[in-house]
Amino acid sequence: MCFHWFKFNLDWSYTRKILTMKIGLDIMGGDYAPKAIVLGAIAAHQSLNSNEHIVLIGDTQQIKPLLLEQGFNPDHFEYHHTDEVIGMGEHPTKAILQKPNSSIAIGFQLLKEGKIDSFASAGNSGAMLVGAVFSVKPIAGISRPCLCTIVPKLKGGTGLLLDVGANADCKPDNLLEFGVLGSLYAEHIMQIENPKVALMNIGEEDEKGNMITLASHRLMKQTKLFNFVGNVEGRDLFNDKADVIVCDGFTGNVMLKLAESFYVLTIKKGLKDEFFDRFNYENYGGSPVLGVNAPVLIGHGISSPLAIKNMIFQSRDMINTRLVNKIQAAFQ
């Protein structure tokens, strides 16, 4: 991660105004596809600038009646027709290889060729991860791209938890990278100044933890790559001790699903509360894949139109802030 003169070229690029952006969206992904996806795209379109275009990828025949029904001028969108779909239960790598004409495979092909500037799907999340790594590749210097989730904070605002499932087994170096990625996302997309980055652990003291977290803590304590504030525990996910919480993908995935089950519980039990309302994933959009050479977002399988709309806004923000360039520069 050394900085050399080439960084200045990249820095120049940050200042270049984005003239036209193309936000790629898989219309076949998700339990309520294509309807929820198209409705989300229509909703998002109302708030986008004239230079911000949505590119719908999938079976365009299926959505024609939908657009008609909504009285929406189809010319507002661009289209890439594909007639294959990767199912939610399919094996990610096999599916990507065996279905080159699927909406996910085509989406990544377009992203790789620069025909779209971001790609988002609420479909098979494994295939989305594999597709991202196979097509646009990990950023040089990053060994393991990861998946984040946005977490509501009790006192308002949001935080970030990563990795939440891309890497079930991690090494301390990976966790250090996640810290850099999370810090940059929090700074540029969530607009948190000097984000506090913490390590998820089983005690606050430096000497607590398992082999991975003990070694990661030592690395993080020495780093100047982000503002490390030490260990946090399971109980600290929603408080203000940290803006960005780093963990391996196993721990993060278990935590995410446990937290989601509480949210579902409060809904089922009719317990209304402002905090629990903010738990609703729909308000945030999707989970960013960080560490690859283009903006990629994975939506929840049960994505509603609102979730899709917000995932489109996330895509736009990732393009507008040139987050990927900033990550590339940090890892040079």
Closest separation between CB of residue 262 and a second copy, Å? 5
**Does 269 engage in binding with a second copy (CB under 8 A)?**
yes
**Contact with a second copy (CB under 8 A): which of 33, 110, 198, 259?**
259
Closest separation between CB of residue 92 and a second copy, Å? 12
**Does 143 engage in binding with a second copy (CB under 8 A)?**
no
| String of DSSP letters for 217-257 | HHHHHH-SSSEEEEEE-GGGTTSTT-SEEE--HHHHHHHHH
Taking the least distance from each CB to a second copy, the nearer of 37 and 289 is 289
Euclidean distance between the first and the last CA atom of the chain, given in angstroms as a whole number: 5
**Does 154 engage in binding with a second copy (CB under 8 A)?**
yes
Of 195, 108, 99, nearest to 148 by C-alpha is 195
**Contact with a second copy (CB under 8 A): which of 86, 181, 244, 256?**
256
As given in the structure block, the two tokens for residue 288 are 């960013």
Please tell me the count of residues contacting a second copy according to CB under 8 A: 38
Cβ partners under 8 Å of residue 274, min gap 6: none
Residues 228-247 that bind a second copy (CB under 8 A): 233-238, 247
How far is 82 from 55, CA to CA, in rounded Å? Answer: 13
As given in the structure block, the two tokens for residue 155 are 């006192």
How far is 320 from 23, CA to CA, in rounded Å? Answer: 11
Residue 92 to residues 95, 112, 228, Cα–Cα distance (Å):
5, 19, 35
Q: Which of the ranges 3-11, 74-82, 206-214, 289-297 carries the binding residues for a second copy, by CB under 8 A?
A: 206-214
How far is 93 from 270, CA to CA, in rounded Å? Answer: 40
**Does 248 engage in binding with a second copy (CB under 8 A)?**
yes
Sheet holding 296-298, edge to edge: 77-81, 52-58, 21-26, 118-121, 296-298, 287-290, 146-152, 158-162, 244-246, 196-200, 227-232
**Contact with a second copy (CB under 8 A): which of 266, 280, 320, 325?**
266
Q: Which of the ranges 28-36, 71-79, 253-261, 316-324 carries the binding residues for a second copy, by CB under 8 A?
A: 253-261
Taking the least distance from each CB to a second copy, the nearer of 106 and 244 is 244
Closest separation between CB of residue 233 and a second copy, Å? 5
**Contact with a second copy (CB under 8 A): which of 275, 301, 313, 332?**
275
**Does 271 engage in binding with a second copy (CB under 8 A)?**
yes
Of 320, 310, 110, 290, nearest to 299 by C-alpha is 310
Taking the least distance from each CB to a second copy, the nearer of 44 and 247 is 247
Contact residues toward a second copy (CB under 8 A) are: 154, 165, 168-169, 200, 202, 209-211, 213, 233-238, 247-251, 253-262, 264-266, 269, 271, 273, 275
